[in-house]
Structure formats: structure tokens, C-alpha cells
Amino acid sequence: MLKSLDYVSGIKPYVPGKPVSELERELGITESVKLASNENPLGPSKKALRAIKNFISKGSEVGRYPDGGGFYLRNAIASRISNARMYFGIESIILGNGSNELLDIAVRTYMTHGDEAVMGYPSFVVYSMAVRSVGAKAIEVPLIDQRHDLKKMAEAITERTKIVFIANPNNPTGTINRKDEFKSFMKKLPQDVLLIADEAYIEYVTDRSYPDTLKYLSEGRNILTLRTFSKAYGLAGLRIGYGISKPEIINELNKIREPFNTNSLSQVAALSALLDKGHLKRSINLNNEGKRYLYKALDEIGVKYVPSETNFIYILLEKDSFTLYNAMLKEGVIIRPVGQKEIRVTVGLPEENQRFIEVFKRVLEVV
Ligand SMILES: Cc1ncc(COP(=O)(O)O)c(C=O)c1O
């Protein structure tokens, strides 16, 4: 029998949020609502869609390989993040097929069998999957008050540690670690350990005490800051994200990166999306309004939740989350069970949020 490597066979595959089309096919229903994968309910900017159409209308361009270096997009990202105090050039940016791919590339660049990576628990499940896929060990440090325990995470670093992952904001809890605690953590982070600062939800953050990882990067620290076009920019289906780091780190990552890892359509769409500040603002405002509505409704129902710096809310139940999830599925509302008694719900359009609350309230009484 063909056998995979022991450390691969032990990995549990990632379970994505159920697609709407699958649910509707299975249950023979229509108009279901997906609030399971933290997508932007407004979808992409119209300018991004127009850019894709324009690109396709040139016909033969789709038959050519993409610009493997993603020149225009990397340039635009570099100038967007540069300011009077900090300069980043194109050599500080790497594009990925989603920021997810960059996590994987970084792990393969810096880790091997027997190494360790420190991460929070619960946090984004892909970190431990990526680490275990190279035969290395994921050291999971429990969250404290639903936030990364940066003190304990620093204590968990050993001479075997190659990478520390901090999702800030964290998924699934939606919380951030503040400037002051981040500063103390950075003082303890050894120079031969890479910090992966996963900022997939940065655009939604409103807390002013949110730390600026690019500042540490410009001071020469070994950080790979990851961001994405999948969330606030609404391009999850096109798979495009980016990393910001020191040129020498980007250089190493490029040795592992597939030559054409991001496609032409995602590059043109992301470039237009980046320039469409109006759409981003509308998306953020809608999310803030949605959160206000959901907080109020959840307060009225009397369930506990964690105030969120993202586009999703972590809700703590007194009931089994999988039973609730299945009961809500039958009513056409897809949420995400993320623990025995915890669910994660993406903030949707106003009518989707209302539908969630209405079904949640009803289902909660019977499960
Ligand atoms: C914390 C975090 N990081 C990274 C990702 C990956 O995003 P993408 O690969 O779509 O850029 C996600 C997606 O859910 C996430 O929640």
C-alpha cells in the first residue's frame, strides 16, 4: 500500500465553510445565507471587476503566463504602505496565492523535521497544518481571555523554535494584542526566530492600540507581515495575498515560491481593488454597522460573545455548537462551529444578519 509520511498522515485536512450551492443542492432549498468564511458581503469593488473584464477582453492575454513578479501590484502595495517615516520598495513585497500560500512558503523556507513553531490556540488552523507538513512541531499556547498570551508564547520559545505565528486580529476570536504587550514580546523574541504577523483582518481594526508591525520591520526585526485581498477587499475567490518583509527574507521566500503562483486576473483585480478606497470604506462601514446590530441582538438574546476587531463574531454558547450548526444549516443559515461550545459568525449584509438572528434565536430554544 502506498503510505504517506507519518507526520503527514496524522494531519487533519482543513474543513472549509460549506458552500451555499452545496447546501441548497442537498436540502433542495434556495436563498440560503453563508456567514461562515469571513468574506466581504459586498463582494469585490466594481473597479476590480471591470479590470478583470478589460483584461479578458484582450483575449490572447489570458493565454499567456502571468507576470511572475507581479510588478505593478507589488509596486502599488509598496507605495501604499510607505510613508514619511518608513520606506518600502518592491523588493520588500511578495505575492501569494492567498496569504495562506505565503504561510506555507515561509514554513518550508525556515523549518524542517524536529523544529518547532509557537502559535496560539485556538488560532488559524493552517499554521499547525503547515508546520506539521514539514515534520516540525506545532507548540500551541492557549489563549488568555480570548487573546494571544504573548507572555507565555515568549516563554515557549526554545532553541528549536524557528517561527512564531501571531494572528492579529486572531481568528476565530476576533481579538487583538495591543501595542504595549507586543512591544514586550518583541523584546523577548530572539533574532534567529521569524515572527509571522498575520494581519488578514487589519483593515477592520478600529482599536488605536493596535501595534504597527511595519515599524518593527523598518527597525530591522525579522518579521513577515501577511495581509490579504480575501477579506475587506472581497477577492477571496481569486486567491491573492501579500507578505511584507526585509528584502533578504523576501529573497529566501522567492527561492521556494512557484514562478507563476498568482494569476493575471487576481493581479489586475487586486491592483484596482487597492486603488478603490471608496469600496473599502463602504465595506468597513457596513461591517461596523453590522457588528453594532449583532451585538445588540445578541445582548437581547442573552448569549455571550467577544467584541470583535474583525468582520466576524465569536459566540460562546451553553450548548453543543455542532448541533446548533446542523440545525441552522437546515434553516439555510451557514455558520461555523469552531469549538465544542463556540461558533463564529461572519458579519453579513443587514438582511443576512437579521436572518441569522431570527434563525439563531429560534434554533437556540430547541437544540
Ligand atoms: C487569520 C487568517 N490568516 C490567513 C487567512 C488566509 O487568507 P487567504 O489565504 O485567503 O489570504 C485567513 C482566512 O480565513 C485567516 O483567517
Q: Is the CB of 245 under 6 A from ligand 1?
A: no
For residues 360-365, average pLDDT: 96
Q: Please identify which residue in the block is written with the cell numbers 483593515.
A: 203
Cα distance between residue 117 and residue 100, in whole Å: 16
Percent of the chain with pLDDT over 70: 100
In terms of Cα–Cα distance, which of 301, 332, 337, 306 is closest to 321? 337
For CATH 3.40.640.10, list the domain ranges present in the chain.
Answer: 46-275
How many angstroms does the Cα of residue 199 sit away from the middle of ligand 1? 9
So what's the pLDDT on residue 61?
A: 85
So what's the pLDDT on residue 24?
A: 86
Query: Is pLDDT of 210 > 90?
Result: yes
In terms of Cα–Cα distance, which of 91, 108, 351, 101 is closest to 247? 91
The pLDDT tens digits for 47-74 are: 999 999 999 998 778 999 999 999 999 9
CA distances to 30, 130, 245 from 58, in Å:
36, 38, 34
- Contact predicate 32/334, CB 8 Å: yes
Show the beta-strand stretches assigned E in 18-60.
33-34
Q: Is the CB of 167 under 6 A from ligand 1?
A: yes
For residues 214-223, average pLDDT: 97
Q: Is the CB of 99 under 6 A from ligand 1?
A: yes
Q: Please identify which residue in the block is written with the cell numbers 465569536.
A: 314
For residues 146-169, average pLDDT: 98
Which residue type is seen at 286? L
3-class secondary-structure state, position 95 = strand
Confidence category of residue 41, pLDDT binned at 50, 70, 90: very high
The pLDDT tens digits for 253-292 are: 999 999 999 999 999 999 999 999 999 999 999 999 999 9
How many angstroms does the Cα of residue 347 sit away from the middle of ligand 1? 16
So what's the pLDDT on residue 134?
A: 97
Confidence category of residue 21, pLDDT binned at 50, 70, 90: confident
Q: Is the CB of 225 under 6 A from ligand 1?
A: no
For CATH 3.90.1150.10, list the domain ranges present in the chain.
Answer: 6-44+278-366
Q: What's the Rg (C-alpha) of the chain?
A: 21
- Contact predicate 100/126, CB 8 Å: yes
So what's the pLDDT on residue 19?
A: 85
Confidence category of residue 164, pLDDT binned at 50, 70, 90: very high
Q: Give me the CATH topology for the region 6-44+278-366.
A: Aspartate Aminotransferase, domain 1 (3.90.1150)
Q: pTM value?
A: 0.96
Output the residue whose Cα is nearest ligand 1's atom 12.
200
How many angstroms does the Cα of residue 174 sit away from the middle of ligand 1? 13
Confidence category of residue 26, pLDDT binned at 50, 70, 90: confident
In terms of Cα–Cα distance, which of 225, 242, 11 is closest to 128? 11
Query: Is pLDDT of 344 > 90?
Result: yes
Confidence category of residue 320, pLDDT binned at 50, 70, 90: very high
Residue 255's CB is within 10 A of a number of other CB atoms, namely 9
So what's the pLDDT on residue 314?
A: 98
Pocket test for ligand 1, best of 38, 129, 231, 261 (most atoms within 8 A of CB): 231
Q: Give me the CATH topology for the region 46-275.
A: Aspartate Aminotransferase; domain 2 (3.40.640)
Output the residue whose Cα is nearest ligand 1's atom 2.
200
- Contact predicate 178/211, CB 8 Å: yes
